[in-house]
Structure 1
Amino acid sequence: MRRATFGAAAAGLLAALFTAAPAQAATGSITGLDGKCLDVAGASSANGTPVQIYDCNGTNAQQWTVGSDGTIRALGKCLDVVDRSTADGAKVQLWDCTGGANQQWVVTAAHDIVNPAADKCLDVTDRNSANGTRVQIWTCTGGSNQKWNAPATGGGTTVPSGFVVSEAQFNQMFPNRNPFYTYQGLVQALSAYPGFANTGDDTTKKQEAAAFLANVSHETGGLVYVVEQNTANYPTYCDWSQPYGCPAGQAAYYGRGPIQLSWNFNYKAAGDAIGVDLLNNPWLVENDPAIAWKTGLWYWNTQSGPGTMTPHNAMVNHAGFGQTIRSINGSLECDGRNPAQVQSRVDAYQRFTSILGVSPGNNLYC
């Protein structure tokens, strides 16, 4: 974070793991286009058996287990994308469970079933509801041939944490994230700012969550980077004019966390707000996922940066996503200064609101 904005270059992949309790698997039919069931052709459990849609008949060929491990199984085998393809039109089959990315699926609140590795939706070929029509993956369009009701969630997602983003949706948003950025850490951080993604109607709550996570995604390369990459910058973030100086060292206040907290005075202010001594121990932001998330939420909920309002107020008062960009990095990106960076943020926001099943609203640009 520069004096009024946050830097985006970062690195330092940390591997601290905090494991949340898994949800229970559920078994039943998966229904889709025109009420047809996801079906294993011929009820065969052989590797490579096509997966299709068919009239619902209650047989084992149509009984699917949606597991907490991201797999969808029938007849003891996994729903699998042929040849690990990520291309539009890649067919889906049954195969021995291998743990591969082509066997990982996320059921979203918008009734999509998504393969995060391909970033594509389970899709009925050519929108054809005839018995025996093959199922494939395709770029998500929101069409009826990509909508499913799955047994684990009744077609949506459950959110035991009370947060409007489920763990499955979080994983879909950040399929390549650094393990440091845990969903559990984010949920633990929410208590510091209870109004975040919890103000207004359900649409407003989801839009705010999507807006925060979209900006975070842009700042960290998809939640990949934990610390600032350019180490040459590290000594520059100490403002000795502050009465408390830089007790952790001249080069200790480099960018860290989901919105790259930097400068000694920002560490002091964020630490005071969340009740942690970050001025003397700034390394907590790169070692504790909950503290890292809290620093991002601190800025989001309390700082306006180069803008005229906090990002939180921009979303709950319906000023639009563009004002969150202005508050985070407007002096370098808005008003035509860097339209490509603005577009990157908007693209992430639109993708995340789609995952959450809400419209992005108006005034997306700054």
Structure 2
Amino acid sequence: MRSTTPRLGGRTSGRLVRVGFAASTILAAIAATLFAAAPEKLGLAAESSSSEGPIVGLAGKCIDVAEGNSANGTAVQLFDCNSTDAQLVSRRADGTLRVFGKCLDARDFGTADGTAVHLWDCHGGPNQQWVVNEAHDIVNPAADKCLDVRDSNGSNGARLQIWTCTGAANQKWTTAKPGARLASRVPGSAGFVVSEAQFSQMFPNRNSFYTYSGLVTALSAHPGFAATGSDTVRKQEAAAFLANAGHETGGLQHIVEQNTANYPHYCDPNQSYGCPAGQDAYYGRGPIQLSWNYNYKAAGDALGIDLLNNPGLVQNDAAVAWKTALWYWNTQSGPGTTTPHDSMVNQAGFGQTIRSINGALECDGKNPAQVQSRVHSYQHFAHILGVAPGAGLSC
């Protein structure tokens, strides 16, 4: 795995301009008038109680509140669908969308393009009113703007905002019953789309360190992995991940990078935290060969493990090793333009996963033999799982 700039989601505190009693009453009246004018668009007007479940948007990901936090000002974002309470959106007949009993709110009663959407106490204001229309837009009538994924970014943590309605994919939303877009997978169970027998068939000569149980345990860190979209898409993603992991490690035989001469090169001294474990401590380890001090720092922060000071955990704990590989796969684009997870879920093709992992050295004709080796493994693994590999195999 080569150099990448970490992209981790975060939470931005929100603000709300306070209004007096009279003003808030007027705002509520405006909202009521707006909805009375077009009740048929809401699609919930006949309901006496809420309808609850995930709302799915760009990249097959769900509306989500950051870190499962119910505090006022919590960012509303896009994230892998996982059926947690942070993604159970209550679609009310009064026009509000609620999570944890609080409303999706256009910050500070803003109506301009780019106004952030966050979580706030429900107060009846027009900035908390939403119309779901037949075109699958979610519109705030007061602003006459659509709920929008900022910068058309399908990555985990992408913020939601309001924007002039364009009809683009980053403004389209569908509803589903809780868990409808996810495989019925319980971390640590056989619910993973790859069985232990299939895993052994893929890697008959693997190092005993790379256990199937370690992989399945690691799935809990990224519940959307191989669990988003159709059964075919889920299996294609699993095959793609394992094919790249197999290529990086010689068929899951190597735990650490074999070229020891490279070891001192993976310390970026420009990082404020430096290399506390040593100049030569951040060499490639694990299924995707995690390398560089900044990747160990970012992966550790995301996983709640101090990998910057203890990089050896990646070569000593199978679950940690698999978690770092899944962290990269689900959250990092590397030299590519999208994460490998998003490439498979959006059916951009296996070739784009190669670009995100090692595209700077392999893609665009730089090393076609390496690219073909990855493609061959992916086709073989897809065959084992009983799915077609799809288009876009090369980069």
Q: Please give the TM-score of this superposition, normalised by the length of structure 2.
A: 0.53
Partner of 1:363: 392
Shift of 1:2: 2.8
Paired with 1:340 and 1:2, the residues of 2 have a C-alpha distance of 18
Partner of 1:263: 292
Q: What is the identity percentage for the equivalent residue pairs of Structure 1 and Structure 2?
A: 78
Partner of 2:123: none
Paired with 1:235 and 1:293, the residues of 2 have a C-alpha distance of 24
Paired with 1:288 and 1:278, the residues of 2 have a C-alpha distance of 12
Paired with 1:231 and 1:289, the residues of 2 have a C-alpha distance of 22
The one-character-per-residue Cα deviations of 1:204-236 (angstroms, maximum 9, x if unpaired) are: 000000000000011000000000111111111
Partner of 2:224: 195
Shift of 1:160: 4.6
Structure 1 unaligned blocks of 5 or more: 6-158
Structure 1: 4+ residue segments shifted above 6 A: none
**Does structure 1 residue 337 correspond to structure 2 residue 366?**
yes
SS in 1 for 2:300: helix
User: Superposed, which structure 2 residues align to 1:245-284 within 5 Å?
Assistant: 245-284=274-313
SS in 2 for 1:349: helix
Partner of 1:206: 235
User: Superposed, which structure 2 residues align to 1:179-328 within 5 Å?
Assistant: 179-328=208-357
Equivalent residue letter for 2:3: R
Q: Supply the RMSD in Å over aligned alpha carbons.
A: 1.2
SS in 1 for 2:268: coil
Shift of 1:161: 2.0
Partner of 2:33: none
- Give yes or no for contact 2:2–2:358 (8 Å, CA) kept in 1: no
User: Superposed, which structure 2 residues align to 1:39-54 within 5 Å?
Assistant: none
Paired with 2:351 and 2:266, the residues of 1 have a C-alpha distance of 27
Larger relative CO (CA 8 A, sep 6+): 1 or 2? 1
Paired with 1:362 and 1:326, the residues of 2 have a C-alpha distance of 15
Paired with 1:260 and 1:313, the residues of 2 have a C-alpha distance of 20
- Give yes or no for contact 2:2–2:357 (8 Å, CA) kept in 1: no
Paired with 1:223 and 1:304, the residues of 2 have a C-alpha distance of 23
- State which drifts further: 331-340 or 190-199: 331-340
Partner of 1:150: none
Partner of 2:2: 2
- Give yes or no for contact 2:4–2:295 (8 Å, CA) kept in 1: no
Paired with 1:206 and 1:3, the residues of 2 have a C-alpha distance of 28
User: Superposed, which structure 2 residues align to 1:22-171 within 5 Å?
Assistant: 160-171=189-200
Paired with 1:2 and 1:326, the residues of 2 have a C-alpha distance of 11
Structure 2 unaligned blocks of 5 or more: 6-187
Paired with 2:200 and 2:221, the residues of 1 have a C-alpha distance of 23
Q: 1:198 to 1:275 in 2, by over 3 A?
A: same
Paired with 2:201 and 2:2, the residues of 1 have a C-alpha distance of 30
Equivalent residue letter for 1:3: S
The one-character-per-residue Cα deviations of 1:106-125 (angstroms, maximum 9, x if unpaired) are: xxxxxxxxxxxxxxxxxxxx
The one-character-per-residue Cα deviations of 1:117-140 (angstroms, maximum 9, x if unpaired) are: xxxxxxxxxxxxxxxxxxxxxxxx
Shift of 1:4: 3.5
Paired with 2:314 and 2:232, the residues of 1 have a C-alpha distance of 31
Paired with 1:355 and 1:256, the residues of 2 have a C-alpha distance of 27
- Give yes or no for contact 2:207–2:254 (8 Å, CA) kept in 1: yes
The one-character-per-residue Cα deviations of 1:14-73 (angstroms, maximum 9, x if unpaired) are: xxxxxxxxxxxxxxxxxxxxxxxxxxxxxxxxxxxxxxxxxxxxxxxxxxxxxxxxxxxx
Paired with 1:364 and 1:160, the residues of 2 have a C-alpha distance of 31
- Give yes or no for contact 2:2–2:334 (8 Å, CA) kept in 1: no
SS in 2 for 1:245: coil
The one-character-per-residue Cα deviations of 1:50-106 (angstroms, maximum 9, x if unpaired) are: xxxxxxxxxxxxxxxxxxxxxxxxxxxxxxxxxxxxxxxxxxxxxxxxxxxxxxxxx
Q: Please give the TM-score of this superposition, normalised by the length of structure 1.
A: 0.57
- Give yes or no for contact 2:189–2:216 (8 Å, CA) kept in 1: no
SS in 2 for 1:348: helix
- Give yes or no for contact 2:232–2:387 (8 Å, CA) kept in 1: yes
Paired with 1:205 and 1:313, the residues of 2 have a C-alpha distance of 12
